[in-house]
Amino acid sequence: MERKRWECPALPQGWEREEVPRRSGLSAGHRDVFYYSPSGKKFRSKPQLARYLGGSMDLSTFDFRTGKMLMSKMNKSRQRVRYDSSNQVKGKPDLNTALPVRQTASIFKQPVTKITNHPSNKVKSDPQKAVDQPRQLFWEKKLSGLNAFDIAEELVKTMDLPKGLQGVGPGCTDETLLSAIASALHTSTMPITGQLSAAVEKNPGVWLNTTQPLCKAFMVTDEDIRKQEELVQQVRKRLEEALMADMLAHVEELARDGEVPLDKACAEDDEEEDEEDEEEEPDPDPEMEHV
């Protein structure tokens, strides 16, 4: 068997490299590589060689098959070392402003205590700015021209506003003002007072209060409340009369069809229940009668 052994320059002095060709089998023609230490110990793989040399030599760029140091791997490792050292010198900016977590054995995350020379410095935020959404100027004009129709497709007459409610702004009609007041009552939590500033009549686009409807400032008196109560009573009275008339018409219709009216049917049901109660009443005890 032809064996070739020569000194390996990539390893320390005294190390030899041997190539043994294979003569038979499927791998005939391939060569097995072995390394010998100065003391004559044989090594069959790179891990064995690395364990033997330990930290005395870096074999990360050593090619076990050829017995040479790979220059491409050496350049990459040098670039990596240079890049790591430059990063350590320059440093990276830490953009995270959150406080670090206290390194304790607690199961809850506890932030570290922040100590500052100016404890009274606080960022002032306007809560009203975050709550109020921007609103278009004179947005109430979008409600103009909207009408309500009943089931018969007839126009429902709009209610008349009190004389104290007067519109403000360009093209403000009673219908638009009524829709604006109704929208303010349903969407706003503030009291409805109208435009309190007198300068709004001169230049509504500048002095307009967007949280109030487009009407002049008004005052609700006790007389206005009393009139509204009387109006509600009248409407309830008309509703009661309409329901009574509808019920009487329904009873007459049942009478014409030969059916028993509702009040008579209820009376007959009550009589039958009374008779059943009398039948189920137990007989008196004769001993109790004798006593």
Structure confidence by residue, pLDDT tens digits, 146-178? 778 888 888 888 777 777 777 777 777 777 788
Separation CA 191–CA 193 (nearest Å): 6
Residue pair 52/43 in contact by the 8 Å Cβ criterion: yes
Domain span at 180: 159-219
pLDDT given for residue 288 in this prediction:
45
Confidence band of 130 (pLDDT split at 50, 70, 90): low
183 and 238, same structural domain?
no
64 and 20, same structural domain?
yes
20 and 44, same structural domain?
yes
Is position 272 within any domain? no
Is position 60 within any domain? yes
Q: Residue 105's Cα: distance from chain center in Å?
A: 33
190 and 171, same structural domain?
yes
Q: How many domains in the chain? A: 3
Q: Residue 194's Cα: distance from chain center in Å?
A: 36
Separation CA 80–CA 131 (nearest Å): 53
Side-chain-facing half-sphere of 152: CA atoms under 13 Å: 3
183 and 234, same structural domain?
no
233 and 201, same structural domain?
no
194 and 166, same structural domain?
yes
234 and 178, same structural domain?
no
Pick 24 or 234 by higher pLDDT. Answer: 234
Q: Give the mean pLDDT of the chain.
A: 76
pTM for this model (two decimals): 0.35
The mean pLDDT of 69-94, rounded to a whole number, is: 62
Q: Kindly report the CATH number assigned to the domain that includes residue 59.
A: 3.30.890.10
Work out the number of other CB atoms within 10 angstroms of the CB of residue 212: 22
Is position 127 within any domain? no
Side-chain-facing half-sphere of 258: CA atoms under 13 Å: 0
**Residue spans of alpha helices (H) in the chain:** 46-53, 71-90, 127-131, 174-187, 204-207, 222-256, 262-279, 286-290
61 and 42, same structural domain?
yes
104: CB partners within 8 A, 6+ apart: 110
Which SS3 state, helix, strand or coil, does residue 108 take? coil
**Tens digits of per-residue pLDDT, 236-271?**
999 999 999 999 999 998 888 875 554 555 555 556
Q: Which of 129, 138, 140, 142 is nearest to 206 (CA)?
A: 138
pLDDT at 12 over 60: yes
206 and 250, same structural domain?
no
Work out the number of other CB atoms within 10 angstroms of the CB of residue 3: 9
Is position 283 within any domain? no
Confidence band of 291 (pLDDT split at 50, 70, 90): very low
Is position 287 within any domain? no
Is position 125 within any domain? no
Domain boundary pick from 46, 69, 92 = 69
pLDDT given for residue 232 in this prediction:
94
Residue pair 33/19 in contact by the 8 Å Cβ criterion: yes
Is position 251 within any domain? yes
Separation CA 89–CA 147 (nearest Å): 75
Is position 271 within any domain? no
